[in-house]
Structure 1
Amino acid sequence: MKTKPYLQLAAGTLCALMMAGAAHAETSEVTLARQFGIGYLPLTVMNNNQLVEKQLKAAGLADTKVTWSRFGSGSAANDALLSGQLNFAAGGTGPAIILWDKTRTNVKVHGVAALSSMPNLLVSIAPEIKTIKDFTEKDKIAMAGAGSSVQTVYLQMAAAKEWGKENYKKLNSLMVNLPHPEGLNAMLSGSAGIRSTFTTPPFQYMALDKEGVHVVLNSYDIMGGANTFLMVWGTDKFRTENPKTFKAVLDALKEATDWINANPREAAELYVKDTGGKEAVEFIEKMIRDPEIHYTLAPERVLPYAQFMNDVGTLKNRPEAWTDLFFPEIHDLKGS
């Protein structure tokens, strides 16, 4: 029995529609990264208030599973992103920009948006260490992601300014890779010769509450003002294949950021609850309200930071504008 022409046409049309639907089907699960510290507060809000789920539902993707993973450094998040275990990495600008540079010809990693700008402080419990010139080979510095972290580049920029660009790695041998909480504890206990840590809020302020701890270096002094410390990044492959999911995550990040800026007290309460109530709400709220701390999706002074990395050979490719480093969805923001 021969199939009638109109039945053949109908069958072909149905097959084409099914194939088109399959081609545009989005991921059934989206995985995002978190880390420690109030710089990641927008992600904490997104997680606790289920904002990604809310935006996915609004986009018609209510069945998409949202999974959060916690990492101790941006470099660890990078490994998970490249292995496909993670869709959205989060961490310091250093690891993000390094991966942007390395993936230009394959998965094409770019920034999704900034998370926060906040001063990073190199603090020490050693009274004789007043500037970076006072460090000796026996004075170790704890920092998360040592060698690739944002603090690593800050210290290299400071070394280049002090001793010349050719000596930008002068202090690298002093770095000890420890997550921020462990680095703080190591400095306060003096274990393994660690008497200093280059860390972030709230850990740097917790350190400064201890007798004898003082500031050696402020990242804002290095950068000439407010500078994006943390950001979110991902692959162009995931963004292209999952446009609705990508937009839902970005919309959730914007909603969380706006909520923090409008509700600093409630945001502090949420953070304290999420971290187990170890800090006072007033202590966290004071930091959120600090005019030097910015929760914004717009990158701040990311370009000169990345261009320094290119100047010293850490990056092979040189960005000429901050927009080179980020996906187009935020190019309308006033970044730098």
Structure 2
Amino acid sequence: MKKGLLSFAFLILFAGLLAGCGAANDESATGNKEKIVIGYFPNINHVPAMVAKDQALYEEQLGDGTTVEYRTFADGGAFMTALKTGDVDAGLVGPGPAMNNYTTGADVKIIAGASTGGTVVLAREGVEINSPEDFAGKVFATPAVGCTHDVQYETYLQESGITSERIGGTMKHLPGNPATYSALLQSGKIDIAVAPEPWAAVIEYETGAEVVIPWNEVSFGETLPASVMVTSGKLASENPELVQKIIDAHKEAVQFIEDNPEEAKAITLKDIEETTGQGLEKKVVDLAWERIGFTYEVDQDAVQAFADSSYALKFLKEQPDFTNLIDKQFINSQKTASK
């Protein structure tokens, strides 16, 4: 791996951990927020937040009386902790952490989609994968046990009767930060990397690893949100006008990406470099961009199917019902707050 990308990998984690700390937001006597904190990750699936930040879309929607602060996180667990403690008001996170926390009683609502796709399965150079059966006995890495990418990969293989050692199969699982996958592949410690973008593109360019399950063939690859906009149920019910303004800004960001892809890429490169202190190569972003779609819509059926699969794979102890997890009233609203 190139030195610059290696430094970037570790700085991503460091910057995210630092950003996880912070005080709760102030509230005025009328209940209107004087400060809104938006959380996101410095990766390609979270571009809508980067664009909204760069274009001051939240600030324009919320008005002069509200200060907007942005915080980045290294993983979904850290983000969800901040949401539960009130250290962030809304932001982007993978659907897996949102679902898992909801099943344990967390006050969380998915109020919009943000992106789809972006999960790529790669095999170490020299590892022959010609059919699903070839994954048996291999060591694979995902960001966490039961995370979005883990469930997508294991669902895909379960259809061929291949499962991990966790549930009696032969695949060995090594969860960990995607920033380390290139080194793990090159050292032979893992055979398979199940990587979100931009890590998949970095791995492909820097290690010679081969894509063996493309983003649009892995389970739920084209339908499941890769990232979603969430907030607390309390904020959604007590201050719906504020949440509507957040969603209006989010929708503008998604439209900006569709209308101005090259400018959105430039914003992404700038934001990642400013957040982590290290930049990505343009070719990495270009490749990752081809594997991701950006949308504020959210497929409720896909979310429930994903949850059912999580239960079938024994990541969840009880059959989940996410009827009340997703609240579409804000994305369905035709009213956009005036700027």
TM-score surpassing 0.5? yes
Q: Which amino acid is the alignment partner of residue 111 of structure 1?
A: I
User: Rg larger in 1 or in 2?
Assistant: 1
**In the alignment, is the contact (CA less than 8 A) between 1:132 and 1:216 conserved in 2?**
no
**In the alignment, is the contact (CA less than 8 A) between 2:133 and 2:162 conserved in 1?**
no
**In the alignment, is the contact (CA less than 8 A) between 1:52 and 1:66 conserved in 2?**
yes
Q: Tell me the SS of whatever aligns to 1:76.
A: helix
Following superposition, the deviation at residue 256 of structure 1 comes to: 0.4
Mapped partners of 2:184, 2:162: distance in 1: 29
Q: Which amino acid is the alignment partner of residue 122 of structure 2?
A: V
Mapped partners of 1:114, 1:311: distance in 2: 25
Q: Tell me the SS of whatever aligns to 2:228.
A: strand
Of the candidates 78, 81, 84, which is equivalent to residue 82 of structure 1? 84
Which residue does the alignment assign to 2:203? 207
Following superposition, the deviation at residue 43 of structure 1 comes to: 0.7
Of the candidates 241, 261, 265, which is equivalent to residue 258 of structure 2? 261
1:249 aligns with 2:246: yes
> CA 1:286–1:299 in structure 2 vs 1: closer, same or farther (change >3 Å)?
same
Correspondence list, 1:277-288, <5 A: 278-281=279-282, 284-285=285-286, 287-288=288-289
Which residue does the alignment assign to 1:328? 328
Which residue does the alignment assign to 1:51? 57
Of the candidates 122, 145, 158, which is equivalent to residue 147 of structure 1? 145
**In the alignment, is the contact (CA less than 8 A) between 2:136 and 2:171 conserved in 1?**
no
Which residue does the alignment assign to 1:101? 103
Which residue does the alignment assign to 1:306? 307
Following superposition, the deviation at residue 132 of structure 1 comes to: 5.6
Mapped partners of 1:120, 1:65: distance in 2: 34
Greater mean alpha carbon deviation, residues 43-52 or residues 215-224? 215-224
Which residue does the alignment assign to 1:176? 175
Mapped partners of 2:104, 2:119: distance in 1: 26
Which residue does the alignment assign to 2:33? 27
**In the alignment, is the contact (CA less than 8 A) between 2:114 and 2:228 conserved in 1?**
yes
Q: Which amino acid is the alignment partner of residue 208 of structure 2?
A: G
> CA 1:287–1:204 in structure 2 vs 1: closer, same or farther (change >3 Å)?
closer
Q: Which amino acid is the alignment partner of residue 208 of structure 1?
A: E
Mapped partners of 1:75, 1:224: distance in 2: 22
Q: Which amino acid is the alignment partner of residue 325 of structure 2?
A: L
Which residue does the alignment assign to 1:233? 230
**In the alignment, is the contact (CA less than 8 A) between 1:31 and 1:68 conserved in 2?**
yes
Q: Tell me the SS of whatever aligns to 2:208.
A: coil
**In the alignment, is the contact (CA less than 8 A) between 1:109 and 1:235 conserved in 2?**
yes
Q: Tell me the SS of whatever aligns to 1:163.
A: coil
**In the alignment, is the contact (CA less than 8 A) between 2:135 and 2:171 conserved in 1?**
no
Q: Which amino acid is the alignment partner of residue 222 of structure 2?
A: A
Mapped partners of 1:280, 1:126: distance in 2: 22
Following superposition, the deviation at residue 143 of structure 1 comes to: 2.8
> CA 1:331–1:63 in structure 2 vs 1: closer, same or farther (change >3 Å)?
closer
> CA 1:134–1:86 in structure 2 vs 1: closer, same or farther (change >3 Å)?
same
Following superposition, the deviation at residue 315 of structure 1 comes to: 6.0
Aligned residues: 296
Q: Tell me the SS of whatever aligns to 2:318.
A: coil
Following superposition, the deviation at residue 124 of structure 1 comes to: 2.3
Which residue does the alignment assign to 2:123? 124
Structure 1 segments of 4 or more deviating over 6 A? Answer: 164-168
> CA 1:166–1:195 in structure 2 vs 1: closer, same or farther (change >3 Å)?
closer
> CA 1:286–1:174 in structure 2 vs 1: closer, same or farther (change >3 Å)?
closer
**In the alignment, is the contact (CA less than 8 A) between 2:140 and 2:190 conserved in 1?**
yes
Q: Tell me the SS of whatever aligns to 2:126.
A: coil
Q: Tell me the SS of whatever aligns to 1:327.
A: coil
What TM-score does the superposition give when structure 1 sets the normalisation length? 0.77
CA deviation string 1:206-248 (max 9, x = no partner): 2222353112333532436512211121211122233232122
Q: Tell me the SS of whatever aligns to 1:226.
A: coil
Which residue does the alignment assign to 1:187? 184
Which residue does the alignment assign to 1:40? 46
CA deviation string 1:69-99 (max 9, x = no partner): 1111112211221122222242211111112
Which residue does the alignment assign to 1:197? 193
Mapped partners of 1:247, 1:78: distance in 2: 21
> CA 1:199–1:156 in structure 2 vs 1: closer, same or farther (change >3 Å)?
same
CA deviation string 1:83-138 (max 9, x = no partner): 222222422111111122222xxx5312021110124112122422515644576x
Unaligned runs of 5+ residues in structure 2 are 1-27, 334-339
Mapped partners of 1:280, 1:80: distance in 2: 31
Mapped partners of 1:134, 1:36: distance in 2: 34
Q: Tell me the SS of whatever aligns to 1:229.
A: strand
